[in-house]
Structure 1
Amino acid sequence: MGYSDQFFKALGIRADGGGNLEKFAKQSGVSAKRLKYYNENNLVPTGGDLNKIIATANISELLLRLKMGRFDKDIIEAIQNNSEVIFPIIEEHAKTIEPHANSCTLAFETKLGKLYKGDCFDLLKIMDSDSVDLVFADPPFNLSKLYPSEINDNIRIEKYIYWCQEWIKECARVLKPGGAIFLWNLPKWNVALTSCLEGMLTFRHWIAVDIKYSLPIQNRLYPSHYSLLYYIKGDKPNTFHPDRLAMDVCPKCYGDIKDYGGYKDKMNPTGVNICDIWTDIAPVRHAKYKRRKGSNELSLKLLDRIIEMASDEGDLVFDPFGGSGTTYMAAELKGRRWVGCEIGPCDVIQDRFSLIKEEQKILEGYRSTINSLFPEKTRLERVKRGLWTCESVKKKKQPNE
């Protein structure tokens, strides 16, 4: 779904039957196809097209940008310099916005957490400011998917972005100073949402999570990663202790994949620093791990890593889009308090907690392979093959120290 007809409306163009699109295209010398492209993507033309269009419509570039909602630095500066004049107009407009009807109810609770059924806005309205240590949000992607909640996942682009901005603003409000927010989405949407985040929070990382779900798209690079934005409230995080990863070795011979040369003795026995490109988070496909039929869901490994990195035991974790409940399960298993909501059926999440012992084993399996340069199985196989380990390098170096 593209943008609303903001470009056409600004120029007085009608594209319906009997409209004046073809006439405008002929007068301006800009093809109807290109005019439709600018309209569908709400793009301000540049170069020769811009000059032709504003001359034909008898409109300035400034007024065109204002009507399209595409503000450049000059417009932003003018708004800032005239804020007291503009404020009453904006305040009056805000009064016309209809409030959300509050229909959020407690669906179930555990020893550490509470899940509410309803719209996340309703839950956020009753949450205290500066009360949450960590926010993780995985909203619908506006890709026309069918959800059990039957929400409209195919709305105009500007409406989707405005909707995201509203709940992001509320999440920033409830976040404690020093707290962290992680926003999971397609790169296309996260690019559009950074301006909203930058106005309230402090950027830490754009994490690319390499997850391949489907076939390549024709005439485009193969989209293989999701964007995970990491922001904090304030100038430094209250908590930051990322996991360290095992060194990559050959899965068959357990030999080095990368040649560390004479730096083996400098390798940290607790593992390799994690970077901002994560290639070890596999999509959840196997029935053993999947909790929700017919929909993608996030790996427990992903949420384990995020929660470990940006929170401590006893901290409060908030996820406004429950989905299959991965965030809540990870928080429960890791001793974090949690709160969340789901606008659709909550039975999938509640049923998942009946499998908490199985989830615990899965989590333990993940964590047994990290925070060690060579996990135990790898270390034993390397010793058997006469390959170096942290212990052998240290022992070899001792006589020369």
Structure 2
Amino acid sequence: MFFHALNIDSSSRKALQHVAKSTGIPVARLKAIDAHGFEPTAAEIERLAAFLGLTEIAFRLRTGFLSRPLRKLLAASADEIDKLLGAKLGNVASFNQTPSKTVAPSFSTDFGVLYQGDCVEIMRSLPDQCCDLIFADPPFNLDKLYPSEMDDDLRQDHYLEWCEGWLDQCARLLRDGGSLFVYNLPKWNTFLSAYLNKHLTFRHWIAVDIKFSLPISGRLYPSHYSLLYYTKGGRPANFQPDRMPMEICPSCLVDLKDYGGYKDKMNPLGVNLTDVWYDIPPVRHAKYKKRKSANELSIKLLDRVIELASKEGETILDPFGGSGTTYAVAEMKKRKWIGMEIGPVEDIISRMKDLKDENQYLERIRDGYNKLFLPEHAAARKARGLWTASSFNNRSPENLEEKQQLLLGPY
């Protein structure tokens, strides 16, 4: 993008060496600016602009490296710019809001509808503010082969431009107070977060622990996916996260944390959910996978997101259907849903027609939330003389010595 904007032939080694020699900027640095979107330093901009016969402003406008002072200057000159460029721009400025033709659904249930096709085109056909929750798990641009045969190895600037296109639609489709979750690699979500900050309100960067990942040479061990959480407007219309059981030793059942010595004040419904999720299992076993050729999301992850940010009867949209996990969980939890998948949809349809086993699995997941201890652990702890929520509730507050002994327990 950088070379193209400056009419530099990036395929010509001779041309790149000429630019490098003339500006004193190494070829490797020039390639990094082009490939990764790194902004040149002030000195590099001065040298490049002089080499190309441009002013600094012209250079920045051509390449898109707009400094904060330049953005302020453009805003202050909006009327003049509009007169100069208005006729040339036409409808380009509103391109992302242009409605698309209505697409016929491939499948529907009492709660949802599934479309096959490009997500941006389908989202353009939907009315403004029609969704309460959007969950997006886009391709990670890792050069994987998808059934749709889409290009999963785009240049960085092309991938980010594509992401910004569907994120624009997500922001448009969200109701005031609605929530957006974007699941991606931290590398990409750093860029997407910066873009979303211009449109929505940041809530959390959630780290979802990766189980059984293989290390990559030359880097820190990659051990989490990033889940961005944004809302439209200042406050979310729905925010009711599940509470989690206390962390205890699986064999001896003693506490693994002291919670600041305030166990007597622990909420009997459990511990507050944090922004680091260690308990989301990968779906790798062939017996449970609904999409054999690629990874798929855990029911546990979608259950947590949907419970946190929506209520029964509200509308959930997922622009990247994949194996259909979002739609399956939404269906089981009596949420309306809008789905779309650019590739084959037969596996999603087959899955949606028989959710009995997955509903039983979801019920087992739900049994583990909103209690300080699982029932079997509470009974075993009581038998071993360890404190439980009920043991505090049944004691007199004046009996401090006995309560302190319960807090310590037979560790």
Conservation of the 8 A alpha-carbon contact between 2:6 and 2:62: no
Work out the CA distance in 1 between the residues paired with 2:82 and 2:183.
33
Aligned residue in 2 for 1:227: 226
Superposed displacement of residue 101, structure 1 = 7.4
- 1:1-400 maps to which residues of 2 (within 5 A)? 4=1, 6=2, 8-17=3-12, 19-46=14-41, 49-87=44-82, 89=85, 92-93=88-89, 95=91, 102=101, 104-212=103-211, 214-260=213-259, 262-398=261-397, 400=399
Task: Give 1:95 shift.
Answer: 4.2
Q: 2:260 and 2:24 mapped to 1: Cα distance?
A: 64
Return the offset for 1:124.
1.7
Q: For residue 376 of structure 2, give the secondary structure of its aligned residue in structure 1.
A: helix
1:245 CA drift (Å): 0.4
Report sequence identity in percent: 47
> Which 5+ residue runs of structure 1 have no aligned equivalent?
none
Rounded Cα–Cα distance in structure 1 between residues aligned with 2:137 and 2:295: 11
Which letter does structure 2 place at the counterpart of 1:201? L
Deviates more, 1:137-146 or 1:95-104: 95-104
Provide closer, same or farther for how the CA distance between residues 131 and 42 of structure 1 changes in structure 2, counting only shifts above 3 A. Answer: closer
| CA distance in structure 1 between the aligned counterparts of 2:242 and 2:394, rounded to whole angstroms | 27
- Residues 134 and 175 in structure 1, CA contact (< 8 A), matched pair in contact too: yes
Q: Output the amino acid matched with 1:174.
A: L
**How far apart, CA to CA, are the structure 1 residues paired with 2:190 and 2:370?**
32
Q: One-letter code of the match for 1:64?
A: F
Deviations 1:147-183 (A, max 9, x none): 1111111222222222222222222222111111111
Structure 1 residue identity aligned to 2:269: T
1:259 & 1:230 partners in 2: Cα distance?
29
Read off the aligned partner of 1:81 and give its amino acid letter.
A
Cα gap change, 1:71/1:374 in structure 2, threshold over 3 Å: closer, same or farther? same
* Paired letter, 1:198: N
Give the secondary structure class of the aligned counterpart of 2:329.
Answer: helix
Q: How many residues align?
A: 396
Q: Which letter maps to 2:65?
A: R
Alpha carbons 2:6, 2:63 under 8 Å: kept: no
User: How far did 1:94 drift?
Assistant: 5.2
TM-score (normalizing by structure 2): 0.89
- For 1:60 and 1:224, the matched residues in 2 are separated by 45
2:195, 2:183 → 1: CA distance?
15
Deviations 1:123-155 (A, max 9, x none): 223322122111111111222111111111122
Conserved 8 A contact 2:100-2:122: no
* Structure 2 unmatched ranges of 5 or more: 401-411
Amino acid at match of 1:344: G
Q: CA deviation at 1:17?
A: 4.2
* Greater shift in the superposed pair: 356-365 or 170-179: 170-179
Q: Whole-Å Cα distance in 2 between the matches of residues 341 and 126 of structure 1?
A: 12
How far apart are the structure 2 equivalents of 1:253 and 1:91?
74
Query: One-letter code of the match for 1:391?
Result: S
RMSD, aligned CA: 2.4
Structure 2: how far apart are the matches of 1:224 and 1:91?
Answer: 50
Q: Distance in 1 between matches of 2:277 and 2:310?
A: 19
Mapped partners of 2:99, 2:310: distance in 1: 31
Post-superposition shift, 1:115? 0.8
| Partner Cα distance (2:197, 2:399) in 1 | 53
SS at match of 1:371: coil
Aligned partner letter, 1:392: S
- Give, as a single letter, the amino acid of the residue that structure 1 aligns with 2:328: M
SS at match of 1:355: coil
